[in-house]
Amino acid sequence: MKIEKSQRLKQLPPYLFKEIDRQKTVMRAKGADIIDLGVGDPDLPTPAHIIEALQSAALDPANHRYPSYTGMASFNRAVAGWYKRRFGIDLDPESEVITLIGSKEGIAHIPLAFINPGDVALVPSPGYPVYDISVQFAGGRSVSMDLTADNRFLPDLDAIPADVAQSARLMFLNYPNNPTSATAEGDFFDRVVAFAAKHEVIVCHDAAYSELAFEGYRPASFLQSDGAREVGIEFHSLSKTYNMTGWRLGFAVGCKAVIQALGQVKSNIDSGAFQAVQLAGIAALEGDQECVAQMRNTYMQRRDLLVGGLRELGLHVEKPRATFYLWIAVPDGYTSAQFATHLLTRAGIVVTPGNGFGAPGEGYVRMALTVDEKRLAEALERMRGTGF
């Protein structure tokens, strides 16, 4: 029997990080010692009190059955409490909060709730590939909002053609930003709310890196802008804040109608997050946040080491205020892919080519601060010997 893939799969490029995994496997098979600065997967362990909460919850048979589609009431209340403490925002945990199996799951499903075949979504480029891919899966069409250094890697809302703005159903945003590490302030979100209200666009703000900020900087929530709750939602993840990437737990908050529609999709596709993991999530959100402060300090020390070393090598890189990514301009004479290949084959260092996040990312590579300082120092030493 001939197995024929659907057109939607045939039209997709290889998923960026899957391709990076393939390249790493090839190099390791050749005996290379790989320093992986490619994928943003924290190397720090999940804090002990969260693990202990999971262990206790997993022993309770009450948690072995199907969970609620939209999340345990206690977890959604913990989310609302965290939002109040962190951003000063009051949320109704019953109608304005939904539990996700990681924020990626919610981001991937939201177009199914609002995109009809041929509909337009506004997607940042460079950006997290799932925004565009999820729109394609829903039969929609992504229109890129280019993020450039000239505009501090913020989309130029005034540059969006009027016909595109009028036809768009969704707008994806992500600050602090992956891959550029750019940040956005309240005045930008105010303009986004005005744009969305004028053109009836639903805003989907991915705030997965809001707690990875340094030197006292506290990123804003999109929902802090007046009117934001009428035009959109915000996605969060416990993955980066509490080093829980493998646990698959996140949430979305905001506009009741949007949350309800996302819940309708989820109830037909998945059966919710494991209750024991949600109980561990409560321990994370309501427990001592010193573990988050320690995590920030670790990444800040790594940031300073790597930024200083890269600048000594003659590379241009801004020191980010947030995220655990560096967005580095490639040397003259290289494309993004060529420089990434050079570092992999000559130094055994994995970085992510910027154009893998979208055409405007050409000319950059992304490095993740997810290895310890000793390995970062070794990476810098290897780079010195490659002759770029």
Residue 17, pLDDT > 70, answer no
What pLDDT is attached to residue 310?
98
- For the segment 261-290, the average pLDDT, to the nearest whole number, is 97
Domains parsed from the chain with CATH numbers:
7-45+291-384 (3.90.1150.10), 48-286 (3.40.640.10)
Structure tokens at 70: 């939209």
Please report, to the nearest 10 degrees, the dihedral formed by the alpha carbons of residues 126, 129, 134, 137 taken in order: 110
Q: Which amino acid is at 229?
A: R
Burial annotation 364-373 (CB, 10 A radius, 16+ → b, else e): bbbbbbbbee
pLDDT digits (tens, 9 = 90+) for 158-181: 999 999 999 999 999 999 999 999
Tokens of 369: 């601060």
For the CA atoms of 88, 281, 42, 293, the dihedral, rounded to the nearest 10 degrees, stands at 50
Q: What is the mean pLDDT of the chain?
A: 95
Q: How confident is the model at residue 304 (pLDDT cuts 50, 70, 90)?
A: very high
Q: pTM, whole model, 2 decimals?
A: 0.95
The predicted-structure confidence for 332-376, as pLDDT tens digits, reads as follows 999 998 999 899 989 999 999 999 999 999 999 999 999 999 999
The H-or-E segment that residue 120 falls in is strand 120-125
**If you write DSSP's letter for every residue of 152-185 in order, what string do you get?**
TT---GGGS-HHHHHHEEEEEEESS-TTT-----
Q: Is the pLDDT of residue 12 over 80?
A: no
Would you say 266 and 296 are in contact if contact means Cβ atoms under 8 Å apart?
A: no
Mean pLDDT in residue range 142-170: 97
Task: For Cα atoms 34, 40, 43, give the angle at the middle one, nearest 5 degrees.
Answer: 70
Q: In the structure, what pLDDT confidence band is assigned to residue 382 with cuts at 50, 70 and 90? A: very high
Tokens standing for residue 206: 């991915």
Q: Is 80 exceeded by the pLDDT of residue 203?
A: yes
Q: In whole angstroms, how far apart are CA 116 and each of 112, 113, 168, 262, 367?
A: 8, 9, 11, 15, 36
